[in-house]
Each structure stands twice: as structure tokens, then as C-alpha cells.
Amino acid sequence: MTKEQKTKEHKYKVTIQWFKRDMIDLNDVSFQVYKLTSKEENEGKGDPLNALYNLAEEEKNKRNKGDFFIITIESIETKYVIADGIKDRSTRLLYNIPTKLNKVGLVSKDKLKLGPEGYFILKNNDIKWIDINEELYVYDGPLKSNEDVELIIFDTDKDRRVIKTQHLSTMKLSFQIPQQQNQSDLDNENALNEDNNLS
């Protein structure tokens, strides 16, 4: 039996998630979120890649279920993910697929201090954290904040991302991490490029 034939006989797990757009207002900041509207899990056997594309074509005809869907197929050897939905190209892309939001951090103008090499130094206790108590996901959409908010930090299941608001010019950013905290807990993707995009 060839390796290709063995691959096609593998069992795999399928997860299909549907999301619907909504807006969240946290007083100092508001932005678009995605709410999980349905989640299906089942198993299959055969070629996982073919199954992925077949399922994607089926789900595209179920737009009444939401605005965006993610299909994940996972076997012992492989993991495939495909996402599709209505995308708003005129707004900021935050993540490549909807990503679960844990909390939001806000940094005001008076908390940023310029370091010796042109970096703005930001300590963890300079951040105002707001816990998210429901299952919300971030992906794309408009993001607005009060005039005194300089940075918005999304803490997700994937990473932490620092986003400059519309009031900011290009800047470099450095985190000072308290010794009692683990480095991994504050693993931030905080490089900000000149196009106002995330790194």
C-alpha cells in the first residue's frame, strides 16, 4: 500500500464554526467583534484535504447561519484550516481569522515615556485592562477610541497585539516586564509599521 493510499484512509476530526458580526462598546473604546453562533464537531475518514474543500463549498450556501465560518480538519499527521465570509475591505484587519478575545488593554497618552533610543517604554501596570466575560472573537472591522487613548492591546488565545489608534504617528514600542511575571505571559507582537498594520 502506498503512502498516498494510507493518507486517504486516515480518520480525522472536523470542526465547523459560524460567526456573526456585532459591536462592543467599552466606554473608552469600541470595535467590531464576532460572536460564535454555531459549532459542529464530527469525524470522517478518507482524504482530509478533499473533505475540507467539499465542506467549504457546502457551507458557502448556508449564509443564513452567520457572516463568517471556519472549518478545521485535524488528523494524526495533518491539520487544515479554511475560513470564508463577508469581509469589509475598507476597515482594519486585526487577525487572519476570528481569534478569541480574553481582555483589552488601554494605554493613555500620559503613560508613554520616551526611552533613550527612541523607544516608548511601557510597563505592564501602565495598562488599563478590561476583562471580556463572554465568548467574543476579533477579526476585522472599525475601531474607535477616546482622544486620550494612545494604544489598544488585544489579549487573545493566539497572542497579544498592540494597535495604535488613529491619533498616533508611527512609533517604536518596548515593554518592561515585571520580574514576578513570566515572559510568555507578556509575549507581545508589538511592532507597528508605517501603514498602520499589525506585524
pLDDT given for residue 25 in this prediction: 92
71 and 106 together in one domain: no
Q: For the segment 96-116, what is each residue's pLDDT rounded down to a tens digit?
A: 888 999 999 999 888 877 777
pTM above 0.75, yes or no: no
Domain finish residue from 60, 90, 120: 90
pLDDT given for residue 43 in this prediction: 92
Q: Which residue range is the domain that position 135 belongs to?
A: 99-189
Q: In what order do the strands lie in the sheet with 172-176?
A: 113-114, 119-123, 172-176
Domain finish residue from 40, 73, 90: 90
- Written in H, E and C, the secondary structure of 121-140 is EEEHHHCEEEECCCCEEECE
Question: Residue 128 falls within a domain, yes or no?
Answer: yes
pLDDT given for residue 144 in this prediction: 86
Question: Residue 199 falls within a domain, yes or no?
Answer: no
Q: For the segment 118-145, what is each residue's pLDDT rounded down to a tens digit?
A: 777 778 888 999 999 999 999 888 888 8
Whole-angstrom distance, CA of residue 174 vs CA of residue 71:
36
Q: For the segment 134-183, what is each residue's pLDDT rounded down to a tens digit?
A: 999 998 888 888 888 988 999 999 998 888 876 533 344 444 444 444 44
